[in-house]
A and B are shown apart, each in its own frame.
Chain A
Amino acid sequence: MKDDATTPLSFNRRHMLAGMASLPLLGLAGSRALLAQESVTLRWWDHFQPLIPLHDQLIATYGEAHPGVTVDHQVMNPADMMQSLQLAFRGGEAPDITSVPDSLAVVSQLLQAGRFAPLADTVVLDKPFQQEALFEGMHVVNGQVHTFPTFSFRYHSTSLWFHKAMMEEAGLDPEAGPASWDEIADAARKATTGNRYGLLLPIQFAARMEAHLRDLAQMAGGVGDIDWKTGEYAFASDEFVAALEFLLSFQSDGSLHPASSSLDARQGRVRWAAGEAAMFTDGPWNSGVLLGLDAAVLDGIGVQPNPGRSGSGTVQVAPAPGTFWITAQSQNQADASGILGLMTSDEFYVALAERMDQPPLDLSAVDRANVHPTYKRVIAGYADSVRLAPEPLIRNPDVAKVYAEMRTVSPGLGEIIQGVFAGAVPDIRQALQDYADARTAERDRAIGVAVENGAQVSVEDWVFDNWELGTDFAPSQYSSAG
């Protein structure tokens, strides 16, 4: 009898051929599954050039714990990055992780457009200083944490960096350097000899000059951009006018490096470090950048953290914005959260401090870190001079709709400063008044549009009658502000 039945382990020719034909398919499917499971490449964009080694170390650490996860990390010029993000979001090519090198207005627009995703629970922000840094509307949306700051708010961009030897030649204490406006102007005049000038300002970098003016005006006793007691723009205040006249005086007396008007911060720093000028205004990151340029130069540099600070003058700074965001287009949000979760540890804060860039969220990490004395000095100086300002967005999340609507006012503060130095703006007070009026008008317009679109917001959201100049505005004060 012919037995047509085959045993489970027996093969006929047809089975064998079918099996051979399906092998490549099985192999392909198997390798695809394996690849999908194990090989993931995240894309990460940011604008933190000095932090490349630190971030790459984080990526390597995460990769070791998660084999197959790799990161394509690109560091961009802040000026070009927003253009790249614009195109990437529209083309569905947004990176998994990105920083946003722009104002709260742009962040608000991106949030309103649903461009960012919440962080996964793997990001643990349970320390008190981490909790205090998170605000609804800025970092938290509908109760979900979308981002968190890795940097402290407690710094400004206008410390006075100087060559100690040149200060000594000018008859000043080479460690402390000049403190008051008169001392700085005097030191600049004395240090100006031949091809060497007293001060170099990065005038071509409008945003930096804007920060310098804002910081100097506040260290001299000003309230900052907005007088939070009234909610009005204060650009035309005496302190702003005096600070701009003070900056201009260096050009008038010939102690300002003549190339200042065509130099940005990077170019200016290099020429100042090379000895073309005695003093240079910059933020705390100057220590780290100089260390990268030439460590020997840094040893000959001193810093006055708060130049021209009057007794009670403090720089009011907004709460620190989120540093990194996970985009809604990301297909790897869990891994992206996993990487960002590494930025909340004590080790990370110490490592961040050691890059000597913006100070870490945990300022005590600076004491534990191996950093240059100038960095320690400048960060310590900010403890006295930088105070947390109120932020209307935290009190009323609908303010985000106003920020998203507000357009850039031109000429801005930075351009006005450039115009003053270029001789195109003869009346400083009038120019600053015009700017304040234009900002007020633009805010009113944006509020009007936001209200038309259903937002519950008014100019009263910019008024914090319980704010006191020179103090940190505590989170608990938002509920009692009028």
Chain B
Amino acid sequence: MSSPVSDASRPQLLKQLWRDRYIYLLLLPTLSLLALYTIWPIMVSIYFSLLDWSGFEAAGRFVGLANYQELFGDRLFWNAFKNTFIFLVLAVPIRVLLALVLAIILNQAIPFARVFRTAIFLPVVTTAAILGVVMRFVLDPTSGPINLALLQSGLLTQPLNFLGQAGLALYTAVGVWVWKWLGITLIYWLAALQTVPNDLYEAAQLDGASAFRQFTHITLPLLTPFTIIITLITVVEATNVFDLLLTLTNGGPFYATEVIDIYVYRQAFASNVPRLGYASAAALFFGVCIIAISAVQMGLIALVRRRTVEAS
């Protein structure tokens, strides 16, 4: 039996829906595309993750949670998981902080500032896959310009195999990724810096504040909300490094640069016997972890916003 409140609210809801019908009508194309290309693939992936299926048979065999059980015991999955998080932990702060430093410098009236901005932004517009191939030549131990420069300047006596040594390859990949995307973060910071009122700096200068104190007491506090947003965007981008790493190292040497994207791809397509179900389980599990990280970040954003409001 329904309550009088719910009975009363039902016509009101229908009335509201009818009143806003044009909003829903206009939303329909977007919602349809979202359902088709985001919701449906996720639902299908959840179903696939419960199958043992190579993709060659008409249908897979239902195995329940066996793929997830196997995943938790797969050391190569955890290696990829670890590599992904090392990549995140290293690449995100480096990119965000380096771009901030460059933005502060290039925000000043220095000569050729526009040339430098363009030069830093240029790799952003190049295709990541092509960049990966090109960087293999650039980092080549015998004929690559980086090794040649290091050897000729006397910094090295033996060439460094940037992509061929297990202990070096992931850090090299981090460096290449940071360089490739630095320009876009620089643009974010430059835009953020435009929001800091110039009169605050003028007042601080009148009070005799040093450049460092202006930075720590004016720039940084006012940039804090932007920092969180830029970091969030960068974290999301740092989990999508498939094209760059596939062409740069193909996950090697010996899984040293195998991140989750490449692990999933290898299981689903590049393995001798493809395993679509297992790959779906890995992708879903990692997706849940990313959602958890994003939730923590959203919580932090809310906290900072609350504190900013309280402080003001």
Contact = CB atoms under 8 A, between A and B. Distances in A.
B76 A410 contact: yes
Interface stretch (A383-391, A422-430, A473-481): A422-430
B269 A86 contact: yes
Given A258-B141, A261-B161, A423-B167, A106 B269 contact: no
B222 interface: no
A396 interface: no
B57 A113 contact: yes
Interface in A66-105: 79, 82-83, 85-86, 89-90, 102-103, 105
Nearest to A197: B142
Contact of B56 (A106, A407, A418): A106
B159 A422 contact: no
A106 B273 contact: yes
A110 B55 CA distance: 10
B156 to A, nearest CB: 12
Contact of B142 (A82, A85, A258, A425): A258
Nearest to A112: B57
A105 B272 contact: yes
A257 B275 contact: no
A262 B57 contact: no
Interface residues of A, number: 42
B273 A408 contact: yes
B139, B249, B254, B255: most-surrounded residue (chain A CB, <10 A): B254
B273 A407 contact: yes
A425 B252 CA distance: 13
A336 B292 CA distance: 53
Given A86-B269, A103-B272, A258-B142, A418 B161 contact: no
A86 B55 contact: yes
B142 A407 contact: no
Contacts of A102: 272
Interface in B248-277: 249-250, 252-256, 269-275
B245 to A, nearest CB: 13
Nearest to B276: A86
A421 B272 contact: no
A102 B56 CA distance: 13
Please provide the 10 A-B residue pairs with the shortest distance between their CB atoms, ordered closest to farther.
A261-B164, A419-B254, A422-B253, A258-B141, A424-B166, A422-B166, A86-B55, A424-B254, A408-B272, A83-B269
Given A103-B272, A408-B273, A419-B254, 6 more contacts: A83-B269, A83-B270, A86-B54, A102-B272, A257-B142, A411-B255
16 contacts: A86-B55, A105-B272, A106-B272, A106-B273, A113-B58, A195-B142, A259-B140, A259-B141, A261-B163, A262-B164, A408-B273, A410-B76, A415-B255, A419-B254, A422-B165, A424-B166
